[in-house]
């Protein structure tokens, strides 16, 4: 039974109200090739002088001291405990806990079982990082350390998410479990890592981002400067990126392709006037659309519409709605010459 020793200003005080709320959930986290299953997840308080005699677990128990003082014996080594410290007792580690004789000791506890479960579909970077963290977890020294990376607030965030049942709360709680594991390892770790996070091809990323932005905003008077600003680039830098992907398709050509693709879609499937289509798809006038369309497609918009709609009527079952037919006179904005 948890005995509550209140003190003003204790940030975790609310966790005493529903002490087992997190433990009522079946919390399982799949991380790399490991499954982490939560057994205990709570705040408890030891009255002054209370002793928990030597014992061990076959699982992992993370201990955090948010308030009070005491001592722990890990193996055969005694250590003082005070506010802000943490320690881990892994499988088979004998340990003894004792609250200070003059003051209570509060403890945030996360008790988990970690089982290796190979998953062939897992992201290889995640798998490598999880493996490295598990190796470090199993090699942590048997001594307390300062909670220098802020694992303790993860307990309160998990509790508040569970109590409020806000949208995504189960995902939030699982993220906090991973956060506690990582921040515990980081408290002992030198900072060296053997696993580098995946890095982006920045030119490809910026090109893709720019094209997506253009596809979402092409109906307005979009300029190279507008898109460059979204990427914190100069117009010249962004133009270089476009030419680096395909020298024949600078910004203006890609924007024109996007607009023509939308025009072709409307001509194939609708009956709007050419003037209205020009207005909707970002062309300044119907005359300008006629000029661009004839130059790029080899026919006028009206002739194109008649030919494509005639094809649909002849073979309706063979042409699903919205399907793009990349014939020689079609626009294809999705295959740059990389």
pLDDT of residue 221: 87
Nearest CA to 97 out of 151, 156, 144, 58 is that of: 144
3 state SS for the chain: CCCCCCCCCCCCHHHHCCCCCCCCCCCEEEECCEEEEEEEEEEEEECCCCEEEEECCCCEEEEEEEEEEEEEEECCEEEEEECCEEEEECCCCCEEEEECCCCCEEEEEEEEEEEECCCCCCCHHHHHHHHHHHHHHHCCCCCCEECCCCCHHHHHHHHHHHHHCCCCHHHHHHHHHHHHHHHHHHHHCCCCCCCCCCCCCHHHHHHHHHHHHHHHHCCCCCCHHHHHHHCCCCHHHHHHHHHHHCCCCCHHHHHHHHHHHHHHHHHHHCCCCHHHHHHHCCCCCHHHHHHHHHHHHCCCHHHHHHHHHHHHHHCHHHCCCCCCCCCCCCCCCCCCCC
Fold designation for 13-188: Jelly Rolls (2.60.120)
β 60-74/77-82 pair status: antiparallel
pLDDT of residue 289: 95
Question: Can you give the residue ranges of every domain in the chain?
Answer: 13-188, 202-318
pLDDT of residue 113: 97
Walk along the chain (338 residues) and give the pLDDT tens digit of each residue: 444 544 558 999 999 999 899 999 999 999 999 999 999 999 999 999 999 999 999 999 999 999 999 999 999 999 999 999 999 999 999 999 999 999 999 999 999 999 999 999 999 999 999 999 999 999 999 999 999 999 999 999 999 999 999 999 999 999 999 999 999 999 998 766 666 667 889 999 999 999 999 999 999 889 999 999 999 999 999 999 999 999 999 999 999 999 999 999 999 988 999 999 999 999 999 999 999 999 999 999 999 999 998 887 776 555 444 444 444 455 654 455 43
Per CATH, the homologous superfamily of domain 202-318 is: Homeodomain-like (1.10.10.60)
Partner residues linked to 28 by β-bridges: 37
Say if residue 159 is exposed, middle or buried (CB neighbours under 10 Å; 0-12, 13-18, 19+).
buried
């Amino acid at each position: 039974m948890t005995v509550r020793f209140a003190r003003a200003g204790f940030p975790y005080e609310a966790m005493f109200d529903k002490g087992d709320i997190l433990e009522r959930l079946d919390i399982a986290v799949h991380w790399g090739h490991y499954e982490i299953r939560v057994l205990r997840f709570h705040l408890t308080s030891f009255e002054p002088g209370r002793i928990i005699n030597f014992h061990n677990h076959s699982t992992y128990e993370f201990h955090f001291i948010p308030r009070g003082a005491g001592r722990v014996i890990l193996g055969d080594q005694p250590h003082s405990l005070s506010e802000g410290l943490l320690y881990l007792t892994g499988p088979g580690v004998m340990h003894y806990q004792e609250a200070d004789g003059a003051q209570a000791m509060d403890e945030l506890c996360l008790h988990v079982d970690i089982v290796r479960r190979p998953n062939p579909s897992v992201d290889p970077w995640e798998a490598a990082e999880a493996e490295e963290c598990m190796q470090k977890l199993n090699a942590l020294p048997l001594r307390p350390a300062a909670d220098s990376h802020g694992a303790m607030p993860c307990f309160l965030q998990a509790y508040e998410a569970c109590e409020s049942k806000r949208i995504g709360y189960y995902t939030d709680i699982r993220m906090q479990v991973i956060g506690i594991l990582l921040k515990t390892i980081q408290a002992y770790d030198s900072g060296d890592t053997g696993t580098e996070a995946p890095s982006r091809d920045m030119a490809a990323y910026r090109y893709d981002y720019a094209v997506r932005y253009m596809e979402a905003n092409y109906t307005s008077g979009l300029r190279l400067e507008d898109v460059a600003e979204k990427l914190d680039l100069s117009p010249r830098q962004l133009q270089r990126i476009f030419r680096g992907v395909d020298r024949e398709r600078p910004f203006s050509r890609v924007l024109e392709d996007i607009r023509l693709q939308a025009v072709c879609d409307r001509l194939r499937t609708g009956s709007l006037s050419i003037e209205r289509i020009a207005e909707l798809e970002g062309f300044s006038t119907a005359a300008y659309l006629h000029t661009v369309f004839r130059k790029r497609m080899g026919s006028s918009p009206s002739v194109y519409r008649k030919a494509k709609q005639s094809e649909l009527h002849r073979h309706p079952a063979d042409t699903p709605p919205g399907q793009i037919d990349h014939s020689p006179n079609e626009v294809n904005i999705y295959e740059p010459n990389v």
